[in-house]
Amino acid sequence: MKVQVERAIETALLTDAEIERNVLAALAHGGRPDLAVQVVLVDDSTLADLHARFLGDASPTDVMAFDLGQEGEGPEAEIYASVECAERVARQRGVPPARELALYLVHGSLHLCGHDDHGDEERARMRAAERSVLDGLGWAPDLAPHDE
């Protein structure tokens, strides 16, 4: 399997097969369909700790992606997604939590493909890519902005 799933937090939001499907679709869209990825579903505090350790920012976040730059045995990249954040934000936005988590997985996968979201133009391209992938997977549109 190109996508390995580790659950540091128990959730029934998405099955392993659904996680794999979302990640592979985003990687294909971004031009890296053969990348071996490990997805780790975590809680808010775990992701905040990673955010602080690797980016020097202790604030909570939804997803982080790491290109490990290796080939061969084991994953070439990792995606850490907060299930707690997906559940909380989904309630606030009025969308299914599974869709919100799928968005995080797609977003992290697109980062691994070189997409960025720091500038306005880059963010617009990232949002368009996210919509394209999620639409292609059959997820209902979420028209509310994510950049508040």
pLDDT for 84-116, tens place per residue? 999 999 999 889 999 999 999 999 999 999 998
C-alpha to C-alpha distance for 117 and 147, rounded to whole angstroms: 10
**Assigned domain for 130 exists:** yes
- What backbone torsions phi and psi does residue 56 show, to the nearest 5 degrees? 65, 25
* 145: in domain: no
Domain that holds residue 111: 3-136
Examine residue 146 and state whether it is found in any structural domain, yes or no.
no
Q: What is the pTM of this model?
A: 0.93
Domain count, the chain: 1
Q: Which amino acid is at 23?
A: V
pLDDT tens digits, residue range 22-54? 999 999 999 999 999 999 999 999 999 999 999
